[in-house]
Amino acid sequence: MTEIEQLLTRVAFAARNTRPWGWPSLPAPVDAATLDRAETALGFSLPPLLAELYLRIGDGGFGPSYGLLPLLDGAPAGEPPVVAQYLANLEEARKDPEWPWPEGVLPISHWGCGMYACVDCRSPEGTVLLFEPNTDAADDAWYTDAPGLAEWLHTWLDGTGWYEESNGDTDLEPWPEFRIRTARATATPPAPAQAS
């Protein structure tokens, strides 16, 4: 059994035996057509491990804190699904360029108070980021939570995540790629050419 298969087995066991706040039961996994619709709406593919979580474990409802959000249909307490949340974040960023949202960064789990666990779908390992908007500037709102989705899941399963009370306040490193990934969104358009 590969490491990923072992991890998926552990996640499946935890998903069947624990319920995040607000989830009365584990939703059924999505089918391939639902995953295709979600990826088409997003304009990019999910990292393979994230896709397997939705295809094999459930359409959200497991994981740390409030659990993973569903892909296309609403979660308990009116929480928007992943695709709708991502598209809304991009739209908000267009309206407020001081708070750009990086393309390909998918909010997968809500921490409360506007904070989200996000997966960078452009990184090969699916880097997990913490978006913490309760700050004065967007530059201070993005942190690297885990170098990859597999490591992030291990911290949840092992009870070693920064969010665990027993771990105290763990300082996360700022996400170094934030300004690089959002430079185009915040760039000042060139001035119109002067007629001679």
Structure confidence by residue, pLDDT tens digits, 8-66 = 999 999 999 988 877 888 999 999 999 999 999 999 999 999 999 999 999 999 999 88
Task: Evaluate if residue 125 carries a pLDDT over 80.
Answer: yes
Task: Evaluate if residue 188 carries a pLDDT over 50.
Answer: no
Tell which residue, 124, 117, 113, 105, has the closest CA to residue 178: 105
What is the strand order of the sheet 105-112 is part of? 105-112, 115-120, 128-131, 142-146, 173-174
Task: Evaluate if residue 97 carries a pLDDT over 70.
Answer: yes
Structure confidence by residue, pLDDT tens digits, 99-112 = 999 999 999 999 98
- What backbone torsions phi and psi does residue 71 show, to the nearest 5 degrees? -70, -55
Choose which CATH entry (3.30.365.10, 3.10.580.10, 3.40.1580.10, 3.40.50.720) describes domain 3-160+171-182.
3.40.1580.10
pLDDT for the residue 171: 81
Task: Evaluate if residue 77 carries a pLDDT over 70.
Answer: no
DSSP-assigned states of every residue in 73-104: SPPGGGPPPHHHHHHHHHHHHHH-TTS---TT
Task: Evaluate if residue 193 carries a pLDDT over 80.
Answer: no
Task: Evaluate if residue 3 carries a pLDDT over 80.
Answer: yes
Tell which residue, 114, 120, 107, has the closest CA to residue 176: 120
Question: For a pLDDT cut of 70, what percent of the chain falls above it?
Answer: 89
pLDDT for the residue 65: 86
159 Cβ contact partners less than 8 Å away, ≥ 6 residues apart:
166
Strand ranges inside the chain, DSSP E: 105-112, 115-120, 128-131, 142-146, 173-174
87 Cβ contact partners less than 8 Å away, ≥ 6 residues apart:
41, 42
Q: Where are the domains of the chain?
A: 3-160+171-182
